[in-house]
Amino acid sequence: MLNINDLESGYGESMILRSVNLKVKPGQVVCLMGRNGVGKTTLMKTIMGLIKPKKGTLTYDGRDVTNASPDRRAKGGVGYVPQGRDIFPQLTVEENLLLGLEASSNRKTNIPDTVYEMFPVLKEMIRRKGGDLSGGQQQQLSIARALVAEPKLLLLDEPMEGIQPSIVMEIEQVIENIKASKKMSVLLIEQSLTFATRIADYYYVLDKGTIVAEGNSSSLSEDQVKKHLAV
């Protein structure tokens, strides 16, 4: 599905990622872990095409997309939910969701029912302004907007950060449902060991811009987390 090979990426002269190799297989949920500032978001942005890599290749769905625009990647089925609930506060929930259709490859004009089934609260709040939703609901809206285009690969940048526990459980359930449907792969940034072992199939730990550990999530131990993630 996604294959990153010997990737180098950064901002201007400042190189953030070095020799990054990462794979997401079809239907897999992969968790990217690492301390603050090690380059996790930079990797997500590079996968989405918002930052051009300086070296290495990115293959998605069997095609080389190393130099493809973000728009082409989105239309090719990559959905991106950036950190910090990037919704439009002045637009209604429905208008926010309709914007997600822009990324749709097959010119869909309707919001799929499955999106409301996954997030019933959004159906209830369809006419409310995005800015009137709670932080957790805004995060749900942000994920729902990416799902509207029915992506094949969903990138989630710290979806659980700063969210109340009840909504964390709902979002976790959504990821579980996505996983069970086997229609989508997910790459998510997440710091919690409990969550990573419960939901992800595979994990990568990034440190100082390079992958320092990887494996099946079931083998992820407290010791490894302490070694690689403790501040």
Ligand X SMILES: Nc1ncnc2c1ncn2[C@@H]1O[C@H](COP(=O)(O)OP(=O)(O)OP(=O)(O)O)[C@@H](O)[C@H]1O
Name the site residues for ligand X (rule: CB under 6 A): 11, 14, 16, 34, 36-42
Between CA 5 and CA 27 the distance in angstroms is 20
- Terminal alpha carbon distance of the chain: 33
Q: Which is nearer to ligand X, 14 or 110 (CB)?
A: 14
Contacts with 85 (C-beta within 8 Å, 6 or more apart), sequence order: 135, 138, 139, 141, 142
Q: Which is nearer to ligand X, 41 or 142 (CB)?
A: 41
Q: Which is nearer to ligand X, 146 or 206 (CB)?
A: 206
> Strand locations in 112-170, DSSP E?
153-157
The number of CA neighbours under 13 Å toward the Cβ of 30 is 24
CB of residue 109 to ligand X, shortest distance in Å = 35
Radius of gyration over every alpha carbon of the chain, rounded to an integer in angstroms: 17
CB of residue 177 to ligand X, shortest distance in Å = 26
CB of residue 57 to ligand X, shortest distance in Å = 20
CB of residue 46 to ligand X, shortest distance in Å = 9
Q: Which is nearer to ligand X, 16 or 174 (CB)?
A: 16
